[in-house]
Structure 1
Amino acid sequence: MPRASQPAGRRERNKQLKLDRITAAARELFAEHGIDEVTTQQIADKADIGTGTLFLYARTKGELLLLVQNSLYAEALERGRVDAENIPDALDAVMAIVRPVVECNRTQVDNGRVYLREMVFGDPAEPHHREALTITGQTEEVVAAVLGRGARVGEADAAAMARIVSAVMFLAMAASVNLAASVDEIMRDIRGQVAVLLAR
C-alpha cells in the first residue's frame, strides 16, 4: 500500500514562508529602485527578518536577484513556448519564444543586465545560479525543438543553432550599446542575426 505524502512539517513551512517574504520584498524593492540602490538590510527589514537569516537564503544581492528573476524568466519562457506552438515559420516561431524573455529582461534594465552577469559569472553550484542556468538550457531546448520541427535540421544541428540563438539573445540584452534600446529595437537586432543563421 503506497504511503500518502506527508504534509510539510512546521519547520519546513516556516522556512518556505520566510523565503516567500524575502522573495516578495526583494522583488518589490528591486523593481522600484533597481538592484544597485537596494541594500540587503532594506530587504531584510521589508521581509521582517534579520540580515543573518536573509543570508541563509541568499549570500549576496546578486543571488537575491536570481531568486526573484528566475521565476519571472521561467514564466516568460513558457509564454514564448506556447506562443510558438502554432507558428509554422521557424524564424517567427523562434522570435515568439525570444520576445517574452527580452520583455522580462527589459522590465528593469539594470536588473536584467545584472541577472545575466550573475548567471554567466556566478557559482554554478549555488542553487539560484544553477536554476538560472537550467532556465537557459530549457530556452535552448525549446528553440531547438522549433528548429527541428518537420526535420528541417538534424537534432545535433538544431541544438547547436539554439545555443547560438541563446548567445545572440543574451548579448543583445546585456550589451552596453543597447542600454537605452527598446524591446522592439532589441528584437529587430536579434531577428536580423537569427535570420542569417537560419538562412544557412
Structure 2
Amino acid sequence: MTQAPGRRERNRQDKLDRITAAASELFAEHGVDDVTTQQIAERADIGAGTLFLYAKTKGELLLLVQNAKYDEALEQGRRAAAATVDVVDAVTALVTPIVVCNRVQVSNGRTYLREMAFGDPSEPHHARALAISGQTEQAVAEILVGRGGLDDGRAATLAHVVSAVVFVSMVSAVDPVTSVASVVESIRAQLEAVLPR
C-alpha cells in the first residue's frame, strides 16, 4: 500500500506547481529575457528566497518549465515514428514535435537549448534536460537498429549526429517567422544525407 505524501511534501509540491505555472505564464507572455525572478516569485505568491530553493537561476526556471513540454513532445514523436516504416520518415516524425515545442516562443526555445548545452549539469533541471536529450538519441538509435538494420554502436553514433543536426537547426533558426515546416525540411535534408535508406 502506498502511503500518501505528508503535509510538508504536499506544501513543497504546491509551491513547485505555483512556481512552474507562474514561470510558464510569464515566459510565454514576455519571453525569458524580459522576466525577472522577482516577478515569478510574486506571481507564485512566494518569497524570492523560497524561489531559489527550487531553481537557483532564471535559466533553471526555464528548464523546469520547458522540460515537461519537451517530455511530452518526445512522447508525441515516438508515437508518430511508430506509424512509419522508412528510417528518414521515422526520425523526422520523432523530432518534428520537438521542433514544434522549440518554436512556440523562439527566444525561449533558443535559451532552453543554450541552458541545456552550457548550464550547470549539477542542477536537477539541467540534468533532466540532458536526460531528455539522451532519451531522444536513444529513440533515434532504436529506429536505426530496428528499421535501418544497423548495429548498436553505429546506431548510437548516428543518433548523436542526428541530435547535433536537430540542435544546430533549431538554434540557428533565429527569425521568429521561420516556420516549423522550414526547420523540419532543413533537418530532413540533412538526415537524408547521413542516414541509411
TM range (shorter): over 0.9
Name 1:148's counterpart in structure 2. 145
1:138 aligns to 2:100 (yes or no): no
Q: Counterpart of 1:124?
A: 121
Shift of 1:18: 0.2
Distance 1:178 1:131 in 2: 28
Number of the residue aligned with 1:110: 107
Q: Unpaired runs of 5+ in structure 2? A: none
Task: Specify the SS of the correspondent of 1:152.
Answer: coil
Alignment of 1:60-99 (within 5 A): 60-99=57-96
- Could you list the runs of 5+ residues in structure 1 that have no partner in the other structure? none
1:167 matched to which residue of 2?
164
Where do 4+ consecutive residues of structure 1 move more than 3 Å? 176-180
- Given that 1:66 and 1:128 are in contact with CA atoms closer than 8 Å, whether structure 2 keeps it comes out as yes
RMSD of equivalent CA atoms: 1.3
Matches within 5 A, 1:14-93: 14-93=11-90
- Structure 1 residues 74 and 119, CA gap change in structure 2 (3 angstroms): same
Task: Tell me if the contact between 1:26 and 1:64 (Cα under 8 Å) persists in the aligned partners.
Answer: yes
Deviations 1:62-110 (A, max 9, x none): 0000000000000000000011112000100000001000000000000
1:192 partnered with 2:194: no
SS at match of 1:163: helix
Residues 41 and 51, structure 2, Cα contact 8 Å, conserved in 1: yes
Does the C-alpha gap of structure 1 residues 48 and 27 become closer, same or farther in structure 2, counting only changes over 3 Å? same
Quickly say closer, same or farther: Cα 1:111–1:151, change in 2 above 3 A.
closer
State the 1:5 CA deviation. 2.5
The structural deviation recorded for 1:52 is 0.6
Letter paired with 1:173 = M
* Pairwise CA distance, 1:166: 0.7
2:179 corresponds to which residue?
182
C-alpha change, 1:150 and 1:118, in structure 2 (3 Å) is closer
Assess, with a 3 A threshold, how the Cα gap between structure 1 residues 150 and 176 changes in structure 2: closer, same or farther: closer
Quote the Cα distance in structure 2 between the aligned partners of 1:86 and 1:110: 32
* Contact 1:143–1:162 (Cα < 8 Å) also in 2: yes
Partners of 1:91 and 1:44 lie apart in 2 by 44
In the superposition, the TM-score normalised over structure 2's length comes to: 0.96
Cα distance in structure 1, aligned partners of 2:175 and 2:17:
33
Q: Is the 8 A contact 2:37 2:58 kept in 1?
A: yes
- Contact preservation (8 Å) 1:62, 1:118: yes
**Maintained 8 Å contact 1:172/1:178:** no
Residues 172 and 162 of structure 1: is their aligned pair in 2 closer, same or farther, counting only changes over 3 Å?
same
Count of matched residue positions in the alignment of Structure 1 and Structure 2: 197
- Percent of aligned pairs with the same amino acid: 60
Q: CA deviation at 1:179?
A: 5.3
Letter in 2 for 1:39: T
Determine if contact 2:23/2:62 at 8 Å carries over to the other structure.
Answer: yes
